[in-house]
A = this chain, B = another copy of it.
């Protein structure tokens, strides 16, 4: 189980399948079911977070709140930390009465260096 955490720190925003393949090199007998079960546990413990892009679910080790930049072409994700932006967004929404807001995250869509040829 600690194996998952280890992996989370290394790769950037892998899918469940990518995690499975990576862990398999260390634990050849592991199955996807086990990976999913552990991801679920880690999620419920708040140790990791899931991000959804174009219907693809990816996971990341949860550090502090941050934002994401996503390539519209290859779906690559990079983090963008900015407490300032978080604060500003929360400021904007402060008098929303139908929801009790708990957190916020901004997503930027664009094309990464690799994909603009």
Contact = CB atoms under 8 A, between A and B. Distances in A.
A34 B13 CA distance: 33
A112 interface: yes
Interface in A49-105: 50, 52-55, 57, 69, 71-72, 78, 80, 82, 84-85, 88-89, 92-93, 96, 98-105
Contact of A102 (B80, B89, B100, B110): B110
B92 A112 contact: no
Nearest to A88: B88
A102 B72 contact: yes
Q: How large is the interface on A (under 10, 10 to 19, 20 to 34, 35 or more residues)?
A: 35 or more
Nearest to A101: B110
Contacts of A89: 85, 89, 106, 108
A80 B93 CA distance: 9
A109 interface: yes
Interface of A: 50, 52-55, 57, 69, 71-72, 78, 80, 82, 84-85, 88-89, 92-93, 96, 98-113, 116
